[in-house]
Amino acid sequence: MTREIGLRHRWIRGGLALVASGTLASTLACSAPAAAPAAPTTAPAAKPTTAPAATTAPTTAAAAAAKPTTAAAADAKPTTAAAPTTAAAPAPTVAAAAGAAASKLKVGMAVGGNTCCEWMKYQGDVARALAEQRGWEYVELSNNNDGPTAVKNADIFVQQGVNAVIEFNGQPSVNPVLAQKFSAAKIPVITYDIAQPGFYFVGIDNLAAGLAGGQALGQIAKDKWNCQPDLVISAEGEGAGIVNTWRTGGMRDGLKKVCPDISEDRYVSFESNGQASVGLPVARDLLAAHPEARKMLVVGLNDGGVLGAIQAAEQLGRDQDIIGWGQDGSFITGPNVDPHLAGSVFYFLEGYAVYSFDKVLDPIAAGSPPPVKDTAGDPAARVEPCPVSAAEAQDIPDTQARAQQLLTAPRGTTEFQLFCPHK
């Protein structure tokens, strides 16, 4: 019996070490998939968000267009990726890819892999479909919203001999490492939303998007409460680093532009990690600690975080006067929109691949790589933010439907052109 107990305790310690280390949550979600990116052909393990994530064989464009959520069958001929040539230059490797000199590229896509957001999956699906439309090879891995995984994935892309990489890396602290690896391998890289010197920047001006959302919310506060809310709640997502600063901070700044007299002590924050379910209990405690607040505004990194605060107010019976404005448009379409979510700023993130292919990859494939523009101020391709009220959002399809419509639209058409009511 004593021996049994001892044995049990050893097991317990092992399990509890995982729990107490605080990494269990991420371990459960990420480590198993992340631990397996040894080869992209084992993609399902590397990216749990999409079943056949890292298949290297090209698939039929038609099937993918019809159903972007699933991988299509492979019947197109895989092209042999040309190894990067010697036409390298310190300035990132574009010439090398051009030196591939084939009309067909082998494109690597590192999706974000944050569990917060459905669009991350579709971002990969759309890229896959566009690659298939062109008859290109496509390799997809998930960064699992984890820096070390992003670095491992970079190694895999290099091993696979891809001609270009698209990165959505939510952990920008490792971007310099990625840049070094890709530069050494002379692989051009497109980065979404988070600038990195030497990477083509495709994305939104997050600060501009934050400001736009904040101003829209400020206008509501001005009309409804004469710019005198009791509390301005920020649903932060510190893990997103500078993006959180731009978006959430930008929303606060945008709000201050319309309502400059809100005193600083009325601004409070909580960590939502960009997820409603994570933010809910924290926001509930925050609201309990401000029992006097009635008129409340909520800004945040994304719709999910904002929704967490709104739900908390509803549970505490204080939802009469709470108004939120989100970012990314994840929860402002469809039949389940919370009545207190007044609007969101759409970036149509799932459709970023259109910009990447149109402005960067197609020219590379054609042998005339564009100059590297690596800042949000002077991007390779700029995605327009689209602030949309809840009423306007009713006419915008949900993420999956948007992705499907995008893939059936004429080549080069963006979602902003298709869906934004303020073109």
Partner 1 sequence: MGSPPAGGSRTGAGGLRAVRLHGWNTTLTLLGAWLLLIAISGLHRADFLAQQTVLAVTFTMAITGVLAVGQALVAISGGILDLSQPTSLILSAYVTSVLLALGVPTVVVVVVAVALGAAWGCLNALVIVFGKLNPIIVTLATNFIGVAALFLVFQSAQAPINSALRAFGRGYFLGLPDIWWPMVFLVLVVGWLLPRTRYGRRTIAVGGNRVAAQARGVSLRRTRFGVFTAAGACAGMAGLLFAGANAAFSPTAGSDFLLPVIAAVILAGVSLAGGRGNILLLLLSVGFLSTVPTSLAFFGLTSAWQTVFQGAILILAVAIDGYREKRARRLPRPRRRRAPGPRRARSPALAVAPGRC
Least CB distance from residue 306 to partner 1, whole Å? Answer: 10
Compute how many residues bind partner 1; rule: CB under 8 A.
64
Q: Interface with partner 1 includes 2 (CB under 8 A)?
A: yes
Least CB distance from residue 20 to partner 1, whole Å? Answer: 5
Q: Are 165 and 108 in contact (CB under 8 A)?
A: yes
Give the nearer residue to partner 1 in terms of CB position, either 24 or 227.
Answer: 24
Q: Interface with partner 1 includes 402 (CB under 8 A)?
A: no
Give the nearer residue to partner 1 in terms of CB position, either 149 or 330.
Answer: 330
Q: Interface with partner 1 includes 5 (CB under 8 A)?
A: yes
Q: Which of 160, 330, 344, 356 binds partner 1 (CB under 8 A)?
A: 330
Transcribe 250-301 into DSSP letters: HHHHHHHHH-TT--GGGEEEEE-TT-HHHHHHHHHHHHHT-TT--SEEEEES
**In sequence order, what are the beta bridge partners of 110?**
141, 167
Choices 77-85, 182-190, 203-211, 274-282; region in contact with partner 1 by CB under 8 A: 274-282
The angle formed by the CA atoms of residues 152, 51 and 53, to the nearest 5 degrees, is 35
Q: Which of 76, 120, 130, 202 binds partner 1 (CB under 8 A)?
A: 120
Least CB distance from residue 416 to partner 1, whole Å? Answer: 23
Cα separations in angstroms, 410 against 69, 130, 133: 20, 12, 12
Q: Which of 71, 96, 151, 278 binds partner 1 (CB under 8 A)?
A: 278
Look at the chain and count its residues.
423
Q: Interface with partner 1 includes 379 (CB under 8 A)?
A: no
User: Both ends of the chain: CA-CA distance in Å?
Assistant: 74
Site string for partner 1, 35-64 (x = CB under 8 A): ---------x---xxxx-------------
Q: Interface with partner 1 includes 333 (CB under 8 A)?
A: no
Give the nearer residue to partner 1 in terms of CB position, either 159 or 394.
Answer: 394
Coil vs helix vs strand at 419: helix
Q: Are 339 and 348 in contact (CB under 8 A)?
A: no
The sign of the CA dihedral 371, 376, 377, 379 is positive
Q: Interface with partner 1 includes 11 (CB under 8 A)?
A: yes
Least CB distance from residue 53 to partner 1, whole Å? Answer: 10
Q: Interface with partner 1 includes 308 (CB under 8 A)?
A: yes
Q: Interface with partner 1 includes 28 (CB under 8 A)?
A: yes
Least CB distance from residue 274 to partner 1, whole Å? Answer: 10
Least CB distance from residue 69 to partner 1, whole Å? Answer: 10
Q: Which of 192, 331, 347, 348 binds partner 1 (CB under 8 A)?
A: 331
Give the nearer residue to partner 1 in terms of CB position, either 358 or 398.
Answer: 398
**What is the distance between the alpha carbons of residues 221 and 76, in angstroms, rounded to a whole number?**
55
Least Cα distance to 210 among 306, 119, 327, 296 occurs for 327
Give the nearer residue to partner 1 in terms of CB position, either 94 or 120.
Answer: 120
Q: Which of 109, 156, 286, 380 binds partner 1 (CB under 8 A)?
A: 286
Q: Which two tokens stand for residue 328?
A: 């990314």
Using only the alpha carbons of the chain, give its radius of gyration. 23
Q: Which two tokens stand for residue 333?
A: 């379409």
Listed in sequence order, the residues at least 6 apart from 322 whose beta carbon sits closer than 8 Å to its beta carbon are: 296, 297, 298, 309, 310, 313, 340
Q: Interface with partner 1 includes 33 (CB under 8 A)?
A: yes
307 CB neighbour count, 10 Å cutoff: 29
Q: Which two tokens stand for residue 191?
A: 């980065």
Q: Interface with partner 1 includes 3 (CB under 8 A)?
A: no
Least CB distance from residue 421 to partner 1, whole Å? Answer: 23
Q: Interface with partner 1 includes 265 (CB under 8 A)?
A: no
Least Cα distance to 312 among 362, 262, 277, 358 occurs for 277
**What is the distance between the alpha carbons of residues 41 and 54, in angstroms, rounded to a whole number?**
6
Cα separations in angstroms, 191 against 226, 268, 384: 41, 32, 16
Q: Interface with partner 1 includes 80 (CB under 8 A)?
A: no
**In sequence order, what are the beta bridge partners of 167?**
110, 191
Q: Which of 271, 328, 350, 362 binds partner 1 (CB under 8 A)?
A: 271
Binding site residues, partner 1, CB under 8 A: 1-2, 5, 8-9, 11-12, 14-16, 18-20, 22, 24-26, 28-29, 32-33, 44, 48-51, 115-118, 120-121, 270-271, 275-278, 280-282, 284-289, 291-292, 304, 307-308, 310-311, 314-317, 330-331, 335-338
